Structure 1
Amino acid sequence: MLTTSRPRAASKRATNVSLPEDLLAEAKALQINISQAAEAGVTQAITRARSELWLAENQEAIESSNAYVEKHGLPLAKYRMF
């Protein structure tokens, strides 16, 4: 599984990315590093996709836990200070 928290010295590989001309022009005008912005965007997309996948894979357990709490309350509720 690919990890998004990798060392800074990770090797990089050149790739081609197609962007709308106006978006690229505005980014260049604002002196945005396209490679860094693309890397940040891909990292964010990976994080979001992993989160959605984890939720889908664990949906049954989450629903079971929520049903237990609805039926029996929180297991340690009597020890809560609020």
Structure 2
Amino acid sequence: MKDESRATGKPGSAAGVNTHSKLEESGKAQPLDQKTSDDETLPREERERLWRIENAEAIAAQNEYVAKHGLPFAKYRQF
């Protein structure tokens, strides 16, 4: 029966355990909470500035729509 679980590669099978132990031995497994993206290491203000630059076209289009048509569902606002 162990041979069948190795062949399937299902979690908890011998193949899955061997793969996991190999990663631990190699030392290349990273903790889940470690930051891996360069964007995550930037300060918040810099990430916001870059986001605004990347999305400037969409922001301008949305602002133009609101200027032309008004706020969506404005007639339902109670404040």
TM-score of Structure 1 vs Structure 2, range by shorter chain: 0.3 to 0.5
Bigger helix fraction? 2
Higher relative contact order (Cα pairs below 8 Å, separated by 6+ residues): 1
- TM superposition score normalised by structure 1: 0.46
> Higher Cα Rg: structure 1 or 2?
2
